[in-house]
Amino acid sequence: MQSRGVGGIGISTTAGACTRDFSRMNAGGRKRVAVVVGAGPAGLTAALELLRRSDITPVVFEADTQVGGISKTINYRGNRMDLGGHRFFSKSDWVMRWWQDILPLAQDQAPSGQGLQITYQSQSRHLPPPTPTASDPDAVMLVRRRLSRIFHRRRFFDYPLKLNAHTLKSLGLLEALRIGLSYGQAQLARRSPESSLEDFLVNRFGERLYRTFFEGYTEKVWGVPCRDISAEWGAQRIKGLTVTKAVLNAMARPFRAVADTSQKGTETSLIERFLYPKFGPGQMWETAARRIGALGGAIHLGHRIVGIEHEDALVRAVRVRDEAGSVRRVPCDELISTMAVCDLTRCLKPADSSVARIADRLPYRDFMTAGLLVRNMNSIARLQPGRPPDNNGMPPDNWIYIQEPEVRIGRLQIFNNWSPAMVADPATIWLGLEYFCKEGDDLWSMDDGRFLDFAAGELQRIGLIERSEVLDGTLVRVPKAYPAYFGGYGEFARVRAYLNGFRNLYPVGRNGMHRYNNQDHSMLAANGAVSSIINGGFGKSDIWRINEEEAYQEEIGADELPKPA
């Protein structure tokens, strides 16, 4: 059996190994087997929970060569990239506990050794710090203060936007006045009916603020105009956030407790502190994968599910293709799938061809991150007087929304500020230049070397770096990063009904449910699937309610959103 060390995890990668494990399990008739498709947050949560809570054996097949799904961390020559910037924050007690069980809080993150007061979802809890001797100083979570700003007209603006002296000065008094007037107008003459995202945003922010900060970015993210996106989508993502609330929040900020990682009663787009694994989000999932291995679960990397056999509304087996191209049949008692709904449906080959047609038309947005290692950035002191830069010009932000119409970059991550351990040489700045795109479009198809050159040129054009400061770079393409809620999504209920018809099939996760899930929602859905399997299928349909009706909508929505968000 070959073993591939991925992120420090030795996981079998041969189809032979998987077949051998499998036949052994069934031979004794001792255990039921659940095949889990995908080793992202949802798949790994499902596998670990099955091992913890049942005698069902999970067998995970992962198409990629590392675990973590889109929450993985890429290690490029010792510099680590987080694809998107993953904040660990949940209003679910269960998720917060689960994360801390895998990676406890670092000793030095808790004030005077007393632990940390975390308040979320109307509950407050004191988290004890790990004992210094018991914990691995590297296997920990850090508490990070969020700083993300908008870069517009070569100036930085606070995010969320605040009506303070700095914003007024940066906008110029005349422009600020125009924005204020336009906001007033929008309040007096609200667009009705509020049918598009454009209507939704104009009603809450005024036309001028919308055009300045939302319109261009949204179109970059989704590739379609705001007037073609439904208002319902905006309501789900930035529910309750308005100019007035942003201003009130800014005024209340100084009075908040320093050690409070969340703000009960505060809209999610205004959360300011989050937990973060020392080596990026992938560390959480690599550690979880090791636990799964230690408890007897199997994770097969480089194995893609390419077919599903079923009869009488029951999944009987999956077909798995390994990296060498050989396809094997693996029988199963339960199937937990985090693969994209369109792929799952294709594997199931529905008799009703309209179901397959709808699933094939589900829209996605894809994503690319160019990692650039630079020696220095241009001093932001020049760009924002009064705020001293680091010696090498590195801004203090975790990420920056780029709202400059002449470039295509959407967001800039500064990985040093997520965790210092993300960077091999602390004297360098490790940047992630994020582009929203469509598989096969001009950005996606650009040769890697050309893309890195193009990306560095964009940062130079807007004055953030000099090209000559770039030391190294790498490019990561992330297909299906964003399940989108327009186009074919309108008929999704029919696909969902079809999938629900299988008694032992559990589609969970982000692309698995075609839902804008954060890690916590994916985990909750996976945990729901495990509970339902243990309870003989009871509660199966409730899984779809996760992240559907909650008052809390993941902040990622706000951040991935059409920013500023």
Nearest to 336 by CA among 540, 176, 97, 490: 540
Measure the CA–CA gap between 281 and 299, rounded to whole angstroms. 19
Q: How distant, in Å, are the alpha carbons of 217, 274, 524 from that of 94?
A: 34, 16, 8
Tell whether residue 422 is a contact of ligand FAD (CB under 6 A). no
Tell whether residue 273 is a contact of ligand FAD (CB under 6 A). no
> Which stretch in 241-249, 376-384, 458-466, 513-521 sits in contact with ligand FAD by CB under 6 A?
513-521
CB neighbour list of residue 218: distance below 8 Å, 6 or more residues apart: 197, 226, 229, 561, 562, 563
Instruction: Decide whether 322 or 469 has the Cβ nearer to ligand FAD.
Output: 322
Q: List the one residue from 339, 421, 495, 546 that touches ligand FAD (CB under 6 A).
A: 339
Q: List the one residue from 233, 364, 367, 401 that touches ligand FAD (CB under 6 A).
A: 367
> Which stretch in 79-87, 200-208, 265-273, 422-430 sits in contact with ligand FAD by CB under 6 A?
79-87
Q: List the one residue from 338, 416, 428, 527 that touches ligand FAD (CB under 6 A).
A: 338
Neighbours of 176 (CB within 10 A): 16
Q: How distant, in Å, are the alpha carbons of 16, 237, 565 from that of 268?
A: 47, 9, 10
Q: List the one residue from 91, 162, 220, 510 that touches ligand FAD (CB under 6 A).
A: 510
> Which stretch in 49-57, 65-73, 116-124, 166-174 sits in contact with ligand FAD by CB under 6 A?
65-73
Instruction: Decide whether 376 or 518 has the Cβ nearer to ligand FAD.
Output: 518
For the residues of 100-135, what is the DSSP string, one character each? HHHSPBPGGGSGGGS-EEEEETTEEEEEPPPPTTTS
Instruction: Decide whether 14 or 517 has the Cβ nearer to ligand FAD.
Output: 517
Instruction: Decide whether 202 or 284 has the Cβ nearer to ligand FAD.
Output: 284
Measure the CA–CA gap between 452 and 409, rounded to whole angstroms. 12
CB of 172 to ligand FAD, least distance (A): 32
CB of 303 to ligand FAD, least distance (A): 6
Tell whether residue 507 is a contact of ligand FAD (CB under 6 A). no
Instruction: Decide whether 157 or 482 has the Cβ nearer to ligand FAD.
Output: 482
Query: Contact letters (x/-) for ligand FAD, 460-489, by CB under 6 A?
Result: ---------------------x--------
Q: Across the strands, what pairs with 125?
A: 118
Q: Across the strands, what pairs with 359?
A: none
Tell whether residue 37 is a contact of ligand FAD (CB under 6 A). yes
CB of 43 to ligand FAD, least distance (A): 5
Which one-letter DSSP state was computed for residue 378? -
Q: How distant, in Å, are the alpha carbons of 4, 6, 189, 299, 333 from that of 302?
A: 10, 11, 56, 10, 22
Q: List the one residue from 7, 34, 38, 229 that touches ligand FAD (CB under 6 A).
A: 38
Query: Based on the number of CB atoms within 10 Å of its own CB, is 85 exposed (0-12), middle (13-18) or buried (19 or more)?
Result: buried
137 token code pair: 């100083």
Nearest to 239 by CA among 267, 273, 280, 205: 267
Query: Contact letters (x/-) for ligand FAD, 149-188, by CB under 6 A?
Result: ----------------------------------------
Neighbours of 401 (CB within 10 A): 24
Tell whether residue 6 is a contact of ligand FAD (CB under 6 A). no
Instruction: Decide whether 221 or 407 has the Cβ nearer to ligand FAD.
Output: 221
Instruction: Decide whether 7 or 393 has the Cβ nearer to ligand FAD.
Output: 7
Tell whether residue 40 is a contact of ligand FAD (CB under 6 A). yes
> Which stretch in 5-13, 242-250, 462-470, 503-511 sits in contact with ligand FAD by CB under 6 A?
503-511
Measure the CA–CA gap between 443 and 454, rounded to whole angstroms. 10
Instruction: Decide whether 389 or 509 has the Cβ nearer to ligand FAD.
Output: 509
Secondary structure class of 46 (helix, strand, coil): helix
> Which stretch in 424-432, 440-448, 459-467, 519-527 sits in contact with ligand FAD by CB under 6 A?
519-527
Instruction: Decide whether 151 or 285 has the Cβ nearer to ligand FAD.
Output: 285
Per rule CB under 6 A, count of chain residues that contact ligand FAD: 36
CB neighbour list of residue 307: distance below 8 Å, 6 or more residues apart: 318, 319, 327, 347
Tell whether residue 70 is a contact of ligand FAD (CB under 6 A). yes
Q: Across the strands, what pairs with 137?
A: none
Tell whether residue 512 is a contact of ligand FAD (CB under 6 A). yes
Q: List the one residue from 155, 191, 291, 304 that touches ligand FAD (CB under 6 A).
A: 304
Q: How distant, in Å, are the alpha carbons of 36, 165, 213, 502 from that of 333?
A: 11, 63, 51, 12
Nearest to 182 by CA among 205, 199, 206: 206
CB of 181 to ligand FAD, least distance (A): 35
Tell whether residue 403 is a contact of ligand FAD (CB under 6 A). no
Instruction: Decide whether 85 or 528 has the Cβ nearer to ligand FAD.
Output: 85
Cβ atoms of 433 and 370 within 8 Å: the answer is yes
Ramachandran class of 537: left when φ > 0, alpha when ψ lies in -120 to 50, beta otherwise: left
CB of 166 to ligand FAD, least distance (A): 26
Tell whether residue 18 is a contact of ligand FAD (CB under 6 A). no
Tell whether residue 305 is a contact of ligand FAD (CB under 6 A). yes
Q: How distant, in Å, are the alpha carbons of 61, 179, 375, 469, 507 from that of 154?
A: 46, 19, 21, 19, 45
Q: List the one residue from 560, 561, 562, 565 that touches ligand FAD (CB under 6 A).
A: 560
Alpha-helix runs per DSSP H in 111-206: 165-171, 173-188, 197-205
> Which stretch in 84-92, 101-109, 215-223, 450-458 sits in contact with ligand FAD by CB under 6 A?
84-92
Measure the CA–CA gap between 557 and 565, rounded to whole angstroms. 7
Contacts with ligand FAD, residue ranges (CB under 6 A): 37-43, 61-64, 69-71, 84-87, 304-305, 338-339, 343, 367, 481, 509-512, 517-520, 522, 556, 560
